[in-house]
Every structure is written in C-alpha cells, then in structure tokens.
C-alpha cells in the first residue's frame, strides 16, 4: 500500500522537517508500506535557514513543481496521513493535500492540533486520532 505523509514544512528548519517525516517513513516501511512525502526532491533546500512556502528557483522547488508533484503523489497514494500535531501556524499545503485526498476518495488519516481545528480539516479526514502513535499503529495494521 502507498501512504502519502503530509505535514507542516513552512517556517521550520530543513533538518527538523526531515526528522518529522523520517521517523514515520522508517516505521511505515518496516510495516511493508511504500511511503511518499513532500520532501522528495528537495535536497537543494538543505542550506536554507528556514523553509518557506514559496519563491524557490530550483527546478524541483519552484511553486509550480511543488504544487504539481505533491498533488501527483496524493493521486498515487492509497492513504493520506496528515500529521498536524504540534504546529505553530496553519499548514496551507497540508490542508490542500487533505482536500485533494478527500476529493479523490482516498482514505485520510489525521492528527489535528488546535491551530487546524476547522470544519474543512475535520470533514476531510476519515479518521482523526488524538496522537501520532495511535495513528501510526492504525496505519501499520492496514
């Protein structure tokens, strides 16, 4: 099964974002899943002091490239897992990914913090967990 991991990127350091995704990727791969995530092809951002949501010039990090690749990965996935725990600000990209997934009829799993407690996020997610560990256990069992 293919699982797309969605989560906040803007406003965070590259290393922190990779750590956020890598622990989940390793765990889901160990359970036999193929894992897609929005950091694929973004190695050229590793020297950025803080990641932003727009304005990069690299061929794989232009606004259009990011938008299209992430949308394509959501289309390829069987399940979309949006980890919106512990965020400091709204993750517009993750909200888009949840919306695309819902529209495409993908199984959507989310962990939602108070910043994202919004009708659109709550309705786009099929299952909402209180914590990441519970969500991960569910995904491992699928």
How far apart (Å, rounded) are the C-alpha atoms in residues 38 and 59? 15
How far apart (Å, rounded) are the C-alpha atoms in residues 1 and 51? 30
pLDDT, average across residues 55-72: 95
Indicate the pTM of the whole model: 0.95
pLDDT at 86: 84
The string of DSSP letters for 66-121 reads HHHHHHHHHHH-SEEEEEE-S-SS--HHHHHHHHHHHHTT-EEEEEE-GGG--HHH
pLDDT, average across residues 14-20: 95
125: nearest Cα among 134, 114, 116, 137: 116
Percent with pLDDT over 70 in the chain = 100
Per the prediction, the chain carries an average pLDDT of 95
List the domains of the chain with CATH numbers.
2-141 (3.40.50.450)
Angle at 103 between CA 100 and CA 105, to 5 degrees: 110
Radius of gyration over every alpha carbon of the chain, rounded to an integer in angstroms:
14
Task: Read off the tokens for 124.
Answer: 């786009």
How far apart (Å, rounded) are the C-alpha atoms in residues 14 and 1? 27
pLDDT at 88 over 90: no
Residue 69 buriedness (CB in 10 A; 0-12 / 13-18 / 19+): middle
């Amino acid at each position: 099964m293919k699982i797309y991991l969605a989560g906040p990127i803007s406003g965070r350091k590259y290393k922190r974002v990779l750590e956020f995704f890598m622990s989940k990727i390793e765990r889901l791969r160990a359970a036999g899943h193929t894992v897609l995530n929005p950091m694929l092809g973004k190695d050229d951002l590793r020297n950025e002091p803080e990641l932003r949501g727009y304005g990069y010039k690299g061929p794989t990090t232009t606004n259009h490239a990011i938008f299209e690749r992430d949308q394509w990965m959501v289309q390829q996935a069987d399940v979309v897992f949006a980890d919106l725990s512990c965020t400091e600000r709204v993750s517009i990209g993750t909200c888009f990914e949840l919306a695309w997934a819902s529209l495409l009829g993908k199984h959507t799993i989310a962990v939602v913090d108070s910043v994202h407690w919004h009708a659109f996020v709550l309705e786009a997610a099929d299952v909402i967990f209180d914590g990441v560990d519970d969500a991960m256990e569910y995904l491992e069992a699928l």
